[in-house]
A and B are shown apart, each in its own frame.
Chain A
């Protein structure tokens, strides 16, 4: 499998009143064609900024740098605004967290779906409409033709997120970046949407970068996992490696927080990681996690060593078990 997306040394800096906030620090990963990479971490760990940086959608006060940022053979770091704009919605598309507000209330579903298609593929209004109806069917919306004429406020949150997924698929992208796509939905709907994303991936073969804070989601869909903490990736590997043998204490802590039916007894306290995420303004020296880590030692004051073992990588003084 060749890589559809290669990220090396991605940095995102935000200028804030307190100074420069290093939201993403030297992040590197690869996504193969058709693969699902889950980026996991707490709120404010830089995972959404990573997603926006990939899409070139960072806020105005943000600056992106990368040693290498290559998508489908195209150097995104060197691409012009127009080139990036041509890729967005076409070869790479994005699904957002808030389905309730992510669709424009003033236009019908059909108008918004067809707008994306006609922007990138041109063609007749009828062809765009046909594609839109086809995809609404694919994302499990009944009476697709009728739905095309409806406005977002006439649809439930789950339906709207299905519409967003259909919109992301309009131009048959090679990569979908999904930023917490199920967080705002009911638990039952969450499961349906995740299954839908997996099914669509099997059918259309696109790669998926899924940003989430929910390890339960990761366990269900991920091929590989990157765990982010304080703007940096602290552990990376296949889903099997990371879940079976988490090497970084932070990853281990996150996994302890998931209740497991059968193993977690009723009334038993779930794991919790004490403390809070460090402030990201200014430089972090040493391991960013050490103030919350049970295994912290004096050596953690220095930059943590990088370990690699069969594609499983982590940054911690603790080596392989």
Chain B
């Protein structure tokens, strides 16, 4: 198990390095950094001066090496638009996005686990169909629309929850529900399908033949094996929620990483974009690594890979 974890970690680091190089090169191809720094309406000689002053005329590989060195020391450069330290900027926004992403995935699992298990235990009954209806509703509603409905109900009519901001945990309730409910159907379907398969498995029949309690049959013997694909999906969904929650962050005025990414791209703020891309990909790689470890814990057959 430990050897497996070490090998996976080495692989994760290699992938992170490759992603950082690829994103660095791609961003440089997407626009002229010197022109962005010089600002709108700059003359050609100004741009040329900037290019020289910032060392942007050096080969890409040298620039990458320098950037990588700085990044590893925690120096992500200075934002062209916000004129502040990018590290501080990102550190300021990251917690909001992390809290939102994690709470949304946890909410999605809290909804989809019981529903998926129930639907699998009673397939093709009204219980199954009710769970399916809830799932279809979640997938069909655009999440900005659902978010607005929540605001209308809980903030405007009932006045229970604040409309926007990040001051207290109450501020996160509606964004969490809006995002979580959107991703829950995928989990529910995967859990339902997995549970139907494992409940029909020979080892579950063995568990029943051994007189084990229904709870032990469902939770110990069937659920653990059904969760393996769910863990992988949870990692992907969490990554997606971290990078793709711009809409929800905007609606609820949550000043998170998604919104920062949107701003930095709009204003051609290269160092900030670069930092956000790097951070999100590292988070993504970390999540995949975690999913691998969790799955190896769930299924001993995976530990040799």
Whether chains A and B associate is yes
Residue from A85, A96, A103, A106 in contact with B211 in the complex, judged by beta carbons closer than 8 Å: A85
Q: Which residues of B contact A86 (CB under 8 A)?
A: 211
Could you tell me if B211 and A151 are in contact, using CB atoms closer than 8 angstroms? no
Could you tell me if A106 and B299 are in contact, using CB atoms closer than 8 angstroms? yes
Distance between Cα atoms of A164 and B216 in the complex (Å)? 19
Distance between Cα atoms of A143 and B202 in the complex (Å)? 27
Cβ of A98 < 8 Å from any Cβ of B?
yes
Q: Give a binary string over A78-117; 1 marks a CB under 8 Å from any B CB, 0 the rest.
A: 0000000111111001101010011111110000000110
Cβ of A119 < 8 Å from any Cβ of B?
yes
Q: Which residues of B contact A85 (CB under 8 A)?
A: 211, 213
Q: Which residues of B contact A299 (CB under 8 A)?
A: none
Residue from A89, A96, A106, A116 in contact with B225 in the complex, judged by beta carbons closer than 8 Å: A106
| Contact-residue bracket for chain B | 20 to 34
Cβ of A210 < 8 Å from any Cβ of B?
no
Residue from A101, A106, A116, A151 in contact with B210 in the complex, judged by beta carbons closer than 8 Å: A116
Cβ of A57 < 8 Å from any Cβ of B?
yes
Q: How many A-B residue contacts, CB cutoff 8 Å?
A: 71
Distance between Cα atoms of A167 and B204 in the complex (Å)? 14
Cβ of B240 < 8 Å from any Cβ of A?
no
Residue from B203, B208, B209, B216 in contact with A103 in the complex, judged by beta carbons closer than 8 Å: B203
Could you tell me if B201 and A89 are in contact, using CB atoms closer than 8 angstroms? no
Tell me the dominant secondary structure on chain B's binding face: helix
Cβ of A120 < 8 Å from any Cβ of B?
yes
Q: Which residues of A contact B225 (CB under 8 A)?
A: 104-106
Q: Which residues of B contact A239 (CB under 8 A)?
A: none
Q: How many residues of A contact B (CB 8 A)?
A: 27
Distance between Cα atoms of A104 and B199 in the complex (Å)? 12
Distance between Cα atoms of A167 and B216 in the complex (Å)? 17
Given A151-B300, A153-B300, A153-B301, do A104 and B209 touch, yes or no (CB 8 Å)? no
Distance between Cα atoms of A16 and B188 in the complex (Å)? 29
Chain B: minimal CB distance from A88 (Å): 4
Could you tell me if B298 and A96 are in contact, using CB atoms closer than 8 angstroms? no
Q: Which residues of B contact A105 (CB under 8 A)?
A: 203, 225, 299-301
Given A85-B213, A153-B300, do A104 and B208 touch, yes or no (CB 8 Å)? no
Distance between Cα atoms of A110 and B211 in the complex (Å)? 17
Could you tell me if B301 and A96 are in contact, using CB atoms closer than 8 angstroms? no
Q: Which residues of B contact A153 (CB under 8 A)?
A: 300-301
Chain A: minimal CB distance from B233 (Å): 18
